[in-house]
Structure 1
Amino acid sequence: MILITGASGSIGRHLVHHLRGEEITAFVRDPAVGDELGCPYVVGDFDDPESVATAMTGVDRVFLNAGGAQPVTGEQPMVRQQRVVIDAAIEAGVEHIVKVSVWHAREGAKLAEGAHWVIEEHLKASGLAWSILQPSGFMQNFRTGAAVFTENGDILGAYGDSRVSYVDCSDIAACAAALLTVSPRAGETFVLTGPEALTHTEIAAKLSAVAGREIGYVDLPAQAFAARLASNGLPARFAQDVAALFAEVAEGRLAPTTDAVADLTGRPPRTFDDFLRENAETIRESWSGSAARVSL
């Protein structure tokens, strides 16, 4: 049996679809979400280790993906929460964990990059078979509002003219499904990207064509970007860390593309145009107005 954590998220929902016909269980906090997913589920919470342990009953493979960088000092809650899942998997005799991490996860890095590195190391030391997915930025950020926007609905960032090889969450899920069923590839880390790298000016133009209104890209220096985020309510230290990560992206660290999606799934990754076609209606609804939106 495969236990899917983060089942209600942008990757998890796609993974439930990709694993139709397999024996799966979704781990959810809200029964209504489980009902909506249309698959077997258990209710629990990462902050309740007993519920995590109960969810592991009869499980031999786990998809680990939940939590995120939050504006707090000290260790990110995600580190504690995912350690709970890994430790419960050890106790339950789970055979294999497929973990979603982030590209450039490394020791001492800020926010999610540092947190995921700590979790990766805990998983590697666990004695469990593991596979790690390190995706580039999500195309879905431009559908869900996880990108950053101005009060006029333009994309806001500190990327300069750098390119980002955004990947479709459906492709991340397809890679996870392959690792959980067909080809475990234990002990390997896969960097997942789309087939092309785009500037945010190019992305804004593509979004404009779908949304039916002009969407621009507003670029700020890193410090001005941090101040803008802080003025919208983010804690100053967190805003500084986010801006620092954006500045690193501006140096081109998310521009390369890889063949990992094709390697794992047997087909090329979706392009940004593919993503826009498949999500056109939602994108038109999300981008039709100019309400203030700042979300991280």
Structure 2
Amino acid sequence: MILVFGASGSIGRRLVELLPADEVVAFARDPAKGAALGCRYVVGDLDDPVSVASALVGVERVFLNAGGAVPAPGEQPMVRQQRAVIDAAVAAGVAHVVKLSVWHAAADGLLAEGAHWEVEEHLRSSGLGWSVLRPSGFMQNFVTGGGTFTENGHLLGAYGDARVSYVDCADIAAAAAVLLTGDPRPGSTFVLTGPEALTQAEIAARLSVVAGREIRYVDLPAVEFAKRLVALGVPEAFAGDVATLFADVAGGRLEGTTPDLAGLIGRPARTFDEFLAAEADAVRQVWADEVHTFE
């Protein structure tokens, strides 16, 4: 049996569709979202140890993707929650955990990079079989708004002319499915990128074509970008960390592409143009107006 955490997210809902129907169980906090997945599901809460332990009974493999870094100082809830899942998986006799992490996870990393590193370290020392997926930025961010900031209907950032090798969540799900149903490649870490790296200006131009209006990329110095985020309602400390991460990206740290994804799924990763073609309706819905709200 395979238990999927984060099953209603951009990756999880695609993953449950790829896994054998008689082997997959989704962990859902909201019963309505669980039912909408169209697969067997259990209702639970990551902050409820009893529900987590109950869901893990009879499970052999786990996809661990839940929670996220939050704009607050101190311990990130994701770290506490995912460490608890790992400990419960040990107690339940789970054989293998596939952990979704983030590219450049590191001990001194800001926000998600540091949080995921803590969980990775706990997993590596747990005694469980493990494999780790470290994706680049998600193409879906330009539809869901995750990790994306806008102002007056235009992209806002501090990337300069740096390129980012965004990856499609559908491809990440396909990679996870391979590890969850076949050889799990124990002890392996995979960096998942798209096949190309694009500047934010290039992305804005391509969004413009699909949306049917001009979308510009507004580039700012990191300090000014942080101030603009605060003006948009982002907490000051979080805005500062985001601006620092964006400045790091401006230095080229997400420009590279790797063969890991194609090697796992046995086909080329999807390009940004292919993603836009597949998600054209959603892109138009989000970006058609100059004043819009990500859902």
Instruction: Check whether TM > 0.5.
Output: yes
SS at match of 2:156: strand
Q: Which residue of 2 aligns with 1:255?
A: 255
Q: TM-score, normalised by structure 2?
A: 0.98
- The question of whether the paired residues in 2 share the 8 Å contact of 1:105 and 1:114 is answered with yes
Q: Which residue of 1 aligns with 2:206?
A: 206
Report the CA distance between 1:71 and its aligned residue.
1.0
Q: Which amino acid letter does the alignment assign opposite residue 24 of structure 1?
A: V
Q: Which amino acid letter does the alignment assign opposite residue 273 of structure 2?
A: D
Task: Give the percent of matched residue pairs that are identical in Structure 1 and Structure 2.
Answer: 66
Q: Which residue of 1 aligns with 2:5?
A: 5
Deviates more, 1:248-257 or 1:140-149: 140-149
Report the CA distance between 1:261 and its aligned residue.
0.9
User: Distance in 2 between the 1:180 and 1:66 partners?
Assistant: 17
Q: Which residue of 2 aligns with 1:124?
A: 124
SS at match of 2:25: strand
In the TM superposition, what whole-angstrom CA distance separates every residue of 1:40-62 from its partner, at most 9, and x where no partner exists? 00001111111100110110100
User: Distance in 1 between the 2:157 and 2:294 partners?
Assistant: 11
User: Distance in 1 between the 2:140 and 2:146 partners?
Assistant: 8
In the TM superposition, what whole-angstrom CA distance separates every residue of 1:7-51 from its partner, at most 9, and x where no partner exists? 000000110111144511000001100110000000011111111
- The question of whether the paired residues in 2 share the 8 Å contact of 1:148 and 1:294 is answered with no
SS at match of 2:53: helix
**Structure 1: gaps spanning 5 or more residues:** none
In the TM superposition, what whole-angstrom CA distance separates every residue of 1:261-295 from its partner, at most 9, and x where no partner exists? 11101101000011001000111111111225589
SS at match of 2:178: helix
Q: Which residue of 2 aligns with 1:77?
A: 77
Q: Which residue of 2 aligns with 1:61?
A: 61
User: Distance in 2 between the 1:104 and 1:276 partners?
Assistant: 26
SS at match of 1:97: strand
Matches within 5 A, 1:52-201: 52-201=52-201
In the TM superposition, what whole-angstrom CA distance separates every residue of 1:231-262 from its partner, at most 9, and x where no partner exists? 12222111100100000000000000000111
User: Distance in 2 between the 1:137 and 1:266 partners?
Assistant: 21
User: Distance in 2 between the 1:200 and 1:194 partners?
Assistant: 15
User: Distance in 1 between the 2:11 and 2:76 partners?
Assistant: 21
Report the CA distance between 1:148 and its aligned residue.
3.1
User: Distance in 2 between the 1:7 and 1:18 partners?
Assistant: 12
Report the CA distance between 1:160 and its aligned residue.
0.2
- The question of whether the paired residues in 2 share the 8 Å contact of 1:149 and 1:293 is answered with no
**RMSD value, Cα:** 1.2
- The question of whether the paired residues in 1 share the 8 Å contact of 2:21 and 2:39 is answered with no
In the TM superposition, what whole-angstrom CA distance separates every residue of 1:169-196 from its partner, at most 9, and x where no partner exists? 0010000000011221010000000000
User: Distance in 1 between the 2:147 and 2:91 partners?
Assistant: 38
SS at match of 1:241: helix
- The question of whether the paired residues in 1 share the 8 Å contact of 2:42 and 2:55 is answered with yes
SS at match of 1:209: helix
User: Distance in 2 between the 1:93 and 1:180 partners?
Assistant: 16
User: Distance in 2 between the 1:286 and 1:123 partners?
Assistant: 37
Runs of 4+ in 1 over 4 A off after TM superposition: 292-295
Report the CA distance between 1:151 and its aligned residue.
3.1
User: Distance in 1 between the 2:293 and 2:246 partners?
Assistant: 18
User: Distance in 1 between the 2:288 and 2:20 partners?
Assistant: 34
- The question of whether the paired residues in 2 share the 8 Å contact of 1:151 and 1:293 is answered with no
User: Distance in 1 between the 2:81 and 2:17 partners?
Assistant: 25
SS at match of 2:164: coil
Q: TM-score, normalised by structure 1?
A: 0.97
In the TM superposition, what whole-angstrom CA distance separates every residue of 1:49-87 from its partner, at most 9, and x where no partner exists? 111001101101000001111011111110000001100
